[in-house]
């Protein structure tokens, strides 16, 4: 006998939690599609030489390699031929380069699949997790308007997910780089290191970060560090305030002014995309650890749960697929790490176990009447109502108990008495009410009730 268990670092859910998770996936997908993004799925395994174009580094150390039984027995030198994707960006780059001549550009794709990282096992860290990505890829060029469309998608997704107020925070890497250059921190790598320290502001506090940056590792002058810390503390609320804060930044290097102009243009357009004025804020501290982004960068935070950190991040990059094609493919995109987000929302008590996908249970009052139950179930299903039938004899109280625990809203009862009168009895477990309805009207009646619930967002 083998103990049934999963590997550490994966999230496996009981059905009612899976339903809640699936609803979030559906909401995200619906909104991605609403904005015209097209679905792509890629294989979970890629050829190692394709996946690992950059050797070394932390990322490679976290890669899972795959070998069939045959390959394993043969042994062999070097890395295994296959590896599992660790994000959806490298597969996107490979996909766009591979099908370049069959795709229309700008290419807007969404991809919602699991990715794999051999992380150290740790609470809230996952080795398998969903990423829900959108990207717009241009050929040669991609206008700034696409940078302004991204917040509209973020806003639609998180409004629809209904997990509380949130703020979409924007920065621009050119602006940031230009500012650092103006402070004499001209070296790209040092900028990255300073930014990494600055990224720790929330965790370590301003004093500790100040000490590090003026200390032996960085050796920056006090006033430079103060200027940097003032700069990264800049936040805006609303469009007018945002533009005003950009105005007072003054001039700087070419990169700085280009960044300011881009940020200004993006901010100004966002409202035309239907995003409310107060949903987007400038946050000049956003660096997005990666070397990858070159212009606009995004983070989104829940106003009431700042400790959760960014729930949706991304930005603009210069060239998606330089390892696979000579074509110049600039892009802009975001990613939602849904497994981690779901876990955090559950920990914070923001999402709870969902009502079942099953809406009605046709009870079995008398075993001889099972065909009657099946006829009622058919009627309900034809009306679009997910229906389970009690197929085996069981005490009625147990049937109710089951429906209640399973999160099934309606229990449909049809005994001899009801049959004689041409009606069925419906128990609405959510409202704690009971009503009778004509047999022929059952499907329609429950459909109306469910539609009301949907509209009223109680579901």
Nearer to a second copy, 93 or 176 (CB): 93
Distances (CA, A) of 18 to 239, 354, 357, 429: 39, 9, 10, 22
Nearer to a second copy, 69 or 307 (CB): 69
| Contact letters for a second copy, residues 254-273 (x by CB under 8 A) | ------------------xx
Instruction: Tokens for 364, please give them.
Output: 């079995």
Q: Is 49 among the annotated ligand-binding positions?
A: no
Q: Where are the beta strands (DSSP E) in 154-303?
A: 166-172, 280-282, 296-302
Is residue 453 at the binding interface for a second copy, with CB under 8 A as the rule?
Answer: no
Nearer to a second copy, 176 or 361 (CB): 361
Q: Is 429 among the annotated ligand-binding positions?
A: no
Instruction: Tokens for 95, please give them.
Output: 């996909």
Cα(164)–Cα(73) distance, rounded to whole angstroms? 53
User: What sign does the dihedral 85-91-94-98 (CA atoms) show?
Assistant: positive
| Contact letters for a second copy, residues 130-159 (x by CB under 8 A) | -------------x-xx--x------x---
In 3D space, the residue among 279, 30, 17, 343 whose CA is nearest the CA of residue 157 turns out to be 30
In 3D space, the residue among 262, 28, 334, 66 whose CA is nearest the CA of residue 156 turns out to be 28
* Touching a second copy, residues 401-420 (CB under 8 A): 402, 405-406
* Touching a second copy, residues 339-358 (CB under 8 A): 356-358
Q: Is 156 exposed, middle or buried (0-12, 13-18, 19+ CB in 10 A)?
A: buried
Q: Where are the beta strands (DSSP E) in 205-344?
A: 280-282, 296-302, 312-317, 331-337
Q: How far is the CB of 332 from a second copy (least distance, A)?
A: 12
Cα(120)–Cα(165) distance, rounded to whole angstroms? 32
Is residue 94 at the binding interface for a second copy, with CB under 8 A as the rule?
Answer: yes
Cα(343)–Cα(366) distance, rounded to whole angstroms? 43
Nearer to a second copy, 392 or 433 (CB): 392
Q: Is 340 among the annotated ligand-binding positions?
A: no
Q: Is 301 among the annotated ligand-binding positions?
A: no
Cα(235)–Cα(284) distance, rounded to whole angstroms? 7
Is residue 426 at the binding interface for a second copy, with CB under 8 A as the rule?
Answer: no
* Touching a second copy, residues 150-209 (CB under 8 A): 156
Nearer to a second copy, 82 or 232 (CB): 82
Is residue 392 at the binding interface for a second copy, with CB under 8 A as the rule?
Answer: yes
Instruction: Tokens for 120, please give them.
Output: 């150290």
Q: How far is the CB of 444 from a second copy (least distance, A)?
A: 17
Residue written as token pair 């009223």: 456
* Touching a second copy, residues 29-88 (CB under 8 A): 33-36, 38-47, 49-50, 53, 60-72, 79-82, 84
Q: How far is the CB of 292 from a second copy (least distance, A)?
A: 18
Is residue 101 at the binding interface for a second copy, with CB under 8 A as the rule?
Answer: no
In the annotated binding site for L-histidine, the residues are 87-89, 117, 131, 135, 288, 292-293
- Residue list for the binding site: 87-89, 117, 131, 135, 288, 292-293
């Amino acid at each position: 006998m083998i103990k049934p268990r999963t590997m550490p670092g994966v999230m496996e859910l009981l059905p009612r939690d899976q339903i809640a998770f699936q609803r979030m996936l559906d909401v995200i997908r619906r909104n991605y599609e609403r904005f015209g993004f097209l679905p792509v799925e890629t294989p979970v395994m890629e050829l190692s030489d394709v996946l690992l174009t950059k050797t070394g580094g932390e990322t490679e150390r976290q890669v899972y390699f795959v070998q069939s039984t045959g390959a394993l027995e043969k042994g062999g030198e070097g890395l295994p031929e296959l590896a599992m994707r660790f994000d959806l960006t490298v597969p996107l780059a490979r996909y766009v380069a591979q099908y370049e001549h069959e795709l229309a550009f700008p290419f807007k794709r969404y991809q919602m699949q699991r990715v794999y990282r051999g992380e150290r096992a740790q609470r809230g860290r996952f080795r398998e997790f969903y990423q829900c990505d959108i990207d717009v890829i241009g050929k040669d060029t991609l206008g700034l308007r696409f940078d302004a469309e991204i917040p509209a998608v973020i806003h639609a997704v998180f409004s629809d997910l209904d997990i509380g107020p949130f703020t979409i925070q924007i920065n621009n890497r050119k602006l940031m780089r230009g500012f650092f250059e103006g402070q004499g921190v001209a070296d790209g790598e040092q900028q990255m290191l300073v930014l990494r320290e600055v990224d720790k502001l929330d965790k370590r506090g301003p004093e500790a970060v100040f000490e590090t940056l003026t200390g032996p590792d960085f050796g920056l002058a006090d006033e430079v560090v103060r200027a940097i810390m003032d700069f990264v503390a800049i936040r805006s609320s609303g469009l007018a305030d945002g533009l005003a804060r950009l105005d007072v930044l003054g001039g700087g290097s070419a990169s700085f002014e280009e960044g300011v102009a881009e940020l200004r243009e993006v901010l100004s357009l966002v409202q035309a995309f239907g995003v409310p004025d107060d949903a987007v804020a400038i946050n000049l501290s956003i660096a997005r650890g990666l070397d990858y982004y070159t212009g606009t960068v995004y983070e989104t935070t829940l106003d009431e749960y700042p400790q959760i950190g960014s729930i949706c991040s991304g930005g603009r990059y210069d060239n998606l697929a330089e390892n696979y094609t000579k074509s110049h493919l600039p892009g802009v995109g975001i990613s939602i790490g849904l497994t981690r987000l779901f876990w955090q929302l559950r920990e914070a008590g923001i999402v709870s176990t969902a009502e079942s996908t099953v809406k009605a249970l046709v009870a079995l009052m008398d075993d001889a009447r099972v065909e009657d139950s099946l006829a009622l179930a058919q009627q309900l299903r034809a009306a679009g109502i997910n229906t389970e039938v009690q197929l085996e004899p069981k005490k009625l109280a147990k049937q109710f108990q089951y429906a209640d625990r399973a999160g099934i809203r309606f229990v449909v009862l049809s005994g001899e008495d009801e049959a004689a009168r041409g009606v069925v009895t419906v128990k609405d477990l959510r409202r704690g009410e009971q009503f009778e309805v004509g047999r022929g009207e059952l499907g329609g009646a429950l459909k109306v009730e469910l539609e009301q619930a949907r509209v009223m967002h109680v579901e």
